[in-house]
Structure 1
């Protein structure tokens, strides 16, 4: 591995890092926020009252409200009770409350949890490949005979051990 290779990897690593700094900040912040997704941390309650078609089934009601994993908890008279609200089957009025993150954090989380059906999924793939490049290119930035490279291998071993602990605990 020559000096030219090291320089090339350093330059690509540097400018790709600068280019992706914004999205890395988004992923870092949303990753922290997603850690608390099972709590109400930073969420605010928003009340909705929607007029829907009467006599919707539970499945159709969940779709009409845009709620994933929708479940009716109980039925009583003309009311269907679900988490956070009710639906009157006769009138079609759904009265419910949802807890949402502020718009900016919610959009960050949507980017973080992007899937192949999203129109910009290829950006997520590009970002993943770029992060993989960052991890691998670090090994070509220093000559294997230098002390900084050897120290880097110790940190790499520590990171791999920590990752294995996280995966299997």
Structure 2
């Protein structure tokens, strides 16, 4: 077999095998990247559930007991509270595990908020942001492997469909979006 054929087979096998091996991470980073790109539109890490609450009547601060605080929790399916305090004389704030109930004792209304992790997105975002000790090395290796996958992909096709044909124009066009962004938004 000719030397160029060996190189082509090695190139194709490397591209294929690295592509298969890293496909899970590629998909994970893509999902997380999309979520993090829209962080101003939604919270990609947490789901915040809010609920309005009405008490049977108004209360005075002096009436509040541990048992009454526990009963207030039953209104939002939280039978066990951690602690409570009074931000003002007519307000009661009750803290639960990953939730809180803020009551206006004077008018008998309140707001309940519960925070829970957004499944899949939370975990992928933790990895994407390198929030786990040592993950940056995995991320660095992954970045180098993505470059290798890309470079080997450039040489799979030959002729007019490959890099010497239409491929060079598509490759050049791929650099246009970042160049346009740099020109119009500056490189600060």
Give the TM-score normalised by structure 2. 0.56
Structure 1 residue 130: Cα displacement: 0.7
Structure 1 residues 121 and 41, CA gap change in structure 2 (3 angstroms): closer
Once residues 50 and 136 of structure 1 are traced to their aligned partners in structure 2, the CA distance between those partners, rounded to angstroms, is 56
Structure 1 residues 31 and 103, CA gap change in structure 2 (3 angstroms): same
* Residue among 106, 111, 127 paired with 1:111: 127
Equivalent position of 1:154 in the other structure: 169
Structure 1 residues 155 and 148, CA gap change in structure 2 (3 angstroms): same
Equivalent position of 2:21 in the other structure: 19
**Contact 1:7 1:141 survives alignment (8 Å):** no
1:62-92: per-residue Cα shift (whole Å, max 9, x none)? Answer: xxxxxxxxxxxxxxxx85xxxxxx8xxxxxx
Given the alignment of the two structures, is residue 125 of structure 1 paired with residue 128 of structure 2, yes or no?
A: no
Once residues 146 and 37 of structure 2 are traced to their aligned partners in structure 1, the CA distance between those partners, rounded to angstroms, is 21
Q: What pairs with 1:1-169 in structure 2 (closer than 5 Å)?
A: 2-40=4-42, 43-45=46-48, 79=87, 97=113, 102-114=118-130, 118-143=133-158, 146-149=159-162, 150-168=165-183, 169=185
Structure of larger gyration radius: 2
Structure 1 residue 100: Cα displacement: 5.7
Structure 1 residue 95: Cα displacement: 5.2
Structure 1 residues 107 and 151, CA gap change in structure 2 (3 angstroms): same
RMSD: 3.4
**Contact 1:6 1:142 survives alignment (8 Å):** no
Give the TM-score normalised by structure 1. 0.62
